Amino acid sequence: MGEEVEAQMKRIEATKGVIGTLVVDPDGVPIRSTLDQSMTLQYAGQLRQLVILARSAVRDIDPQNDLSALRVRSKSNEIIVVTENNYLVIGIQKLPEPDVSMSREVGVLDRFSLGNRVSWLATEGGK
């Protein structure tokens, strides 16, 4: 199991567009990171506080609920924080350039993007 997760993390890190990944243990200590030390500490500190705040908000509304993921989108990047067992798995990804190609000929492999978000990723399927 451990190797699979390792392999998975390596894959993520190697993905084009991913600036860095970071794993923080429940005590707030970063245990794994692909960023340099100062950035690591900064991200770990800031995001941990944010997660605590978000969790407090979620649980205050319904104590039986708990925070599972947090995404912060900025102009250039997206910071994705996924929580499990009080561990934080953080990924920083550079947002892809929006694709504005318009051609829709049959047979040409093209894309046409729309604006709404789809948030069906973290559901149970695919296990």
Partner 1 sequence: MPVPNNNAAFARKGSNVQKVPGAKSTKAATKKKDEEETVETGTGWEEWSQGKALVRPPDQMELTEAELKEENTRILTANNPHAPQNIVRYSFKERSYKPINIVDQMAVHFVLEGSLVHQDSEEARKLGVKEGLAQEIATVDATAESEEEKAETSVNPAVDGGDVEEAGDEDRPDSAASRINKKEPKVTNQFNFSDRASQTLNNPMRDRICQTEPPPRSSFSATANQWEIYDAYVQELQKQEKNKEKQKGTHSHKDNGKSKKVMLMETQSEDVTKWTMASKILERTISQNTFDDIAQDFKYFEDASDEFREQQGTLLPLWKFQYDKAKTLSVTALCWNNKYQDLFAVGLGSYDFSRQGCGMLLFYSLKNPAFPEYIYPTSSGVMCLDIHVQYSHLVAVGFYNGCVAVYSLKEEGREPVYKSTAKTGKHTDPVWQVHWQSDDMDSNHNFYSVSSDGRVVSWTLVKNELIFTDIIRLTLTGAVSEGPKGAQAPSIASGTSFDFHKQIDYMFLVGTEEGKIHKCSKTYSSQFLETFDAHSMAVDTVKWNYFHPKVFVSCSSDWTVKIWDHTINTPMFVFDLQAAVGDVAWAPYSSTVFAAVTTDGTVHVFDLNVNKYEAICQQLVVDKKKTKLTHVEFNPIHPVIIVGDDRGYVTSFKLSPNLRKKPKAKKGHELPKGPEVEVAKMEKLLSLLREPDQNSG
Binding site for partner 1 (CB under 8 A): 1-2, 4-6, 8-9, 11-12, 15-18, 21, 23, 25, 31, 56, 59-61, 63-64, 68-69, 71, 78, 80, 82-85, 87-91, 93, 95-96, 98-99, 104, 106-107, 109, 111-116, 118, 120-122, 124-127
Which lies closer to partner 1 via its Cβ, residue 75 or residue 111? 111
CB of 68 to partner 1, least distance (A): 8
- Nearest alpha carbon to residue 66 among 54, 49, 76: 54
Which lies closer to partner 1 via its Cβ, residue 1 or residue 37? 1
Largest CA distance in the chain: 55
Rounded CA separation 99/57 (Å) = 35
Which lies closer to partner 1 via its Cβ, residue 37 or residue 63? 63
Extended beta strands in the chain, E state = 18-24, 30-33, 69-73, 77-84, 87-94
Rounded CA separation 126/6 (Å) = 19
